A and B are shown apart, each in its own frame.
Chain A
Amino acid sequence: MHTRTIAELSALLHEGAVSAEELAQALLERIQRLDGDLNAFITVTAEEALAQAREADRRLRSGEATPLTGIPIAHKDIFCTRGVRTSCGSRMLDPFVAPYDATVVERLAAAGAVSLGKTNMDEFAMGSSNETSYYGPVRNPWDPERVPGGSSGGSAAAVAARLVPGATGTDTGGSIRQPAALTGITGLKPTYGRVSRWGMVAFASSLDQAGPMARTAEDCALLLQAMAGFDPRDSTCVDRPVPDYRAALAGEGDLKGLRIGVPREWLEEGLDGKVRACVERALQVYRDLGAEVREVRLPNAHLAVPVYYVLAPAEASSNLARYDGVRYGHRCQDPRDLTDLYKRSRAEGFGPEVKRRIMIGTYVLSAGYYDAYYLKAQQVRRLIAQDFRRAFQEVDLLAGPTSPTTAFRLGERLDDPVTMYLSDIYTIAVNLAGLPGLSHPAGFVDGLPVGLQLVGDYFEEARLLEAAHRFQQATDWHRRVPPGCA
């Protein structure tokens, strides 16, 4: 049962071949058995899950069910969940029990999905390896000595290890797509504003976006259908109709007439040779499906990481100023005065990567440096976005590697922040431009999964999902199961 996709489970639930309660029970047992080693979950909410599952069974019987009713999922621990600890992977929020549900949590629950718990993540979503979590690193199901990627590493590992068929993630610079690539699953970062950020702990508000992680594009379509849509509580959420994503995947079909651009800059230095070869074989699959694949240019691509490490830390330093040890979260013992209370609560509550980013952000926003760093970065951000606009006048989608290497070893990049940051060289520009991006399994190198990234024009999620779905109808990389997880 655990190897089935959401679409398959949905059919079984609707036929009555399995009940939501049996399914939840089976996966909770699987989590208990396997997650001690993986560490994909921070909190498992068995009791709440079984109650939700029984309610789902009632809806399935009474004919009020949606395609997600009774489907077990997990939420990245960045989404507020009423009555359940919402830690964001940080000691700062270890004591925090959210007083409300995030919109994403609310919508998936309303559709009848059953949440089994909260998944591990890099602290405050800052990291590309899931090693900065206060709750310890997550292991990659394909090789326990390697990272699952980050920051949505717990969600990625849980889906890859068949603990849940789907999970939520968030992506500020690659945090859905990079772990999806490194664990061999499918993950979608929607257009900025497509999914509400309300109740999602803020990291960099002009970049953050929530999205689905699952094993197939079809399952991502089902999850996105419930997650997307206007929410008046998020002032940046876009009021625009949500298309029928699954309808775009109907039938067998091909990709005749689809123009795919491969940015030359994404295949240049920094890319592992074997990963490149794997990506090129995947591009051949797209050609065989009838797509026209041609080279395009993104001349400012090399500036994305530098720009990001001004803007994201600047926004983070401002967003994380709210953690003051006064209203909620961690507080130090016996503060001498108010400044001591702030400084020690924050020093104890935040780990080293979060401190680095807060300090970089504080520096680039400080008097005398604002124009040289922050304003300059916002200008270069526009140049990067304009590159994409030009590319989309020639092609419908962009394709390339999601990450320059396969999963790296635990500890390998932890002491060198800049090397860690370069794990996201192909994903970051997509957030800066606000475009939708998807990573799907494209093959293996030395037993480790490789992801192909597809990028679409604004609000073209359906086109991304359709292309990935056709690829998955023609290949079986997404069906490969990590050792010990079958």
Chain B
Amino acid sequence: MNLDRSSVERIAHLARLALAEEDVPRYVRDLSRILDLVERMGAVDTRGVEPMAHPLDIPQRLRPDEVTEEDRREELLGLAPQAEAGHFLVPKVID
């Protein structure tokens, strides 16, 4: 599998990663190699095999819809790079 430069740039955009111009060729090479490795599974006949999402094949457990967390708003906002008046701050999104 040979990814080209523009596919790598598109993937990086979808993943919200800014890639330095000079690093792109290395990612083109590395990601292509990893996909070559992955494609070894392509030849396997998997018709009728049910996809396995959970190693123990057990259903997701549900819990009662009750509030169990205490209010730690100020403490948690304190972890943010920028917060003010009870809110996380981000650059302006609406003019």
Task: Give chain A's interface residues, CB within 8 Å of chain B.
Answer: 95-97, 99, 191-193, 206-207, 232, 235-236, 238-239, 300, 302-303, 305-307, 309-310, 317, 321, 324-331, 335-344, 346-347, 350, 352, 355-356, 358-360, 362-364, 366, 372-373, 375-383, 385, 417-418, 421, 431-434, 458
Q: Which of A206, A300, A328, A366 is close to B80, meaning CB atoms less than 8 Å apart?
A: A328
> Top 3 nearest A-B pairs by Cβ distance?
A434-B55, A378-B51, A331-B81
A-B pairs with beta carbons under 8 Å apart, 6 shown:
A206-B55, A302-B40, A321-B16, A336-B91, A377-B41, A418-B33
Q: Which of A352, A363, A433 is close to B11, meaning CB atoms less than 8 Å apart?
A: A363
Are A309 and B38 in contact, CB atoms less than 8 angstroms apart? yes
Nearest A-chain residue to B49, judged by Cβ? A379
Given contacts A303-B40, A309-B37, A380-B41, contact A359 B15 (CB under 8 A): yes
Q: Which of A206, A346, A362, A418 is close to B53, meaning CB atoms less than 8 Å apart?
A: A206
Are B46 and A380 in contact, CB atoms less than 8 angstroms apart? yes
Are A360 and B44 in contact, CB atoms less than 8 angstroms apart? no
B44 to chain A minimum Cβ distance, whole angstroms, is 6
Are A379 and B79 in contact, CB atoms less than 8 angstroms apart? no
Nearest A-chain residue to B72, judged by Cβ? A99
Nearest B-chain residue to A317, judged by Cβ? B15
Known: A363-B7, A381-B52. 15 other contacts (CB 8 A): A97-B79, A235-B61, A321-B16, A325-B81, A326-B80, A327-B79, A331-B81, A344-B18, A355-B17, A359-B15, A359-B17, A362-B15, A366-B11, A382-B51, A418-B33
Residues of chain A lying within 8 A (CB to CB) of residue B80:
326-328
Residues of chain B lying within 8 A (CB to CB) of residue A421:
34, 37
Q: Which of B16, B34, B51, B93 is close to A337, meaning CB atoms less than 8 Å apart?
A: B93
Q: Which of A303, A342, A366 is close to B16, meaning CB atoms less than 8 Å apart?
A: A342
A450 to chain B minimum Cβ distance, whole angstroms, is 26
Are B90 and A326 in contact, CB atoms less than 8 angstroms apart? yes
- B1-58, CB < 8 A from A: 3, 7-8, 11-20, 23, 26-27, 30-31, 33-42, 44, 46, 49-56, 58
Encode contact with A along B45-88: 1 for CB under 8 Å, 0 otherwise: 01001111111101011010000000010011001111000001
Given contacts A236-B54, A326-B90, contact A359 B11 (CB under 8 A): yes
Main secondary structure of the interface of B (DSSP, over half): loop
Residues of chain A lying within 8 A (CB to CB) of residue B19:
347, 355
Q: Which of A329, A343, A417 is close to B17, meaning CB atoms less than 8 Å apart?
A: A343
A379 to B53, CA, bound (A): 9
A303 to B37, CA, bound (A): 10
Are B33 and A382 in contact, CB atoms less than 8 angstroms apart? no
Are B79 and A347 in contact, CB atoms less than 8 angstroms apart? no
Are A341 and B91 in contact, CB atoms less than 8 angstroms apart? yes
Nearest A-chain residue to B54, judged by Cβ? A206
A371 to B56, CA, bound (A): 22
Are A433 and B75 in contact, CB atoms less than 8 angstroms apart? no
Q: Which of B31, B60, B79 is close to A359, meaning CB atoms less than 8 Å apart?
A: B31
Nearest A-chain residue to B13, judged by Cβ? A343
Residues of chain B lying within 8 A (CB to CB) of residue A342:
16
A309 to B1, CA, bound (A): 14
A352 to B20, CA, bound (A): 11
A464 to B82, CA, bound (A): 49
Given contacts A99-B72, A327-B79, A347-B19, contact A359 B90 (CB under 8 A): no
B18 to chain A minimum Cβ distance, whole angstroms, is 4
Are B88 and A358 in contact, CB atoms less than 8 angstroms apart? no
Residues of chain B lying within 8 A (CB to CB) of residue A380:
41, 44, 46, 49
A420 to chain B minimum Cβ distance, whole angstroms, is 11
Q: Which of B11, B49, B81, B82: most chain A CB closer than 10 A?
A: B81
Nearest B-chain residue to A341, judged by Cβ? B91
Residues of chain A lying within 8 A (CB to CB) of residue B18:
340, 343-344, 346-347
Residues of chain B lying within 8 A (CB to CB) of residue A339:
16
A363 to B15, CA, bound (A): 9
Given contacts A341-B91, A347-B19, A362-B15, contact A309 B55 (CB under 8 A): no
Are B16 and A335 in contact, CB atoms less than 8 angstroms apart? no
A438 to B40, CA, bound (A): 28
Are A376 and B17 in contact, CB atoms less than 8 angstroms apart? no
A199 to B33, CA, bound (A): 34
A357 to B7, CA, bound (A): 15
Residues of chain B lying within 8 A (CB to CB) of residue A305:
37
A96 to B3, CA, bound (A): 35
Are B79 and A96 in contact, CB atoms less than 8 angstroms apart? yes
Residues of chain B lying within 8 A (CB to CB) of residue A330:
81
Are A359 and B91 in contact, CB atoms less than 8 angstroms apart? no
